[in-house]
Amino acid sequence: MNTRTPTREERQLALLWLAAVVGALALRPLWLALAPHLRPCIFRSVTGVQCPTCGTTRAATAFLEGDLLAAFAANPLAAVVGLAFVAGAPLATLGAVFRWPIPVLKWSDSSWLRVGLLLVIAINWLYVIIAN
């Protein structure tokens, strides 16, 4: 796999990502206070079927409360994305500071990633429909 050195903009983006995570965690009490007041899912209200993102608010709330098992039970994909958001920021920042090489993905190699991502979303949606 080919690699390259991160650009100046990518290093800045990594620092911005870290700032976003720190800000989100610092505002934890606000997020937890606002979560119960969010509107219910419009897709579910209209169709009676849960959407692929149903359970994301419950997953985020559980994640912020430190209950990873409840977060994964509510919506596994949302929990993985939340965990990647929080854990990825320090890694990206370290990579930017020390200029670790970045893997380069050729456009022709990305089709299997798109199919895989769609499959993961479909499996997660099926889980959300069955489990909740």
Half-sphere exposure of 74 (CA within 13 A, CB side): 20
Strands 102-103 and 3-4, by their bridges, are: antiparallel
State how far the Cα of 114 lies from the Cα of 86, in Å rounded to an integer: 23
Strand ranges in the chain using DSSP code E only, listed in sequence order: 3-4, 102-103
pLDDT digits (tens, 9 = 90+) for 82-98: 999 999 999 999 999 99
pLDDT, one tens digit per residue, over 42-57 is 999 999 999 999 999 9
For 103, the 3-state DSSP assignment is: strand
Sorted by where each begins, the domain ranges of the chain are 3-131
Q: By 3-state DSSP, what share of the chain in percent is helix, strand and coil, each rounded to 5?
A: 75, 5, 25
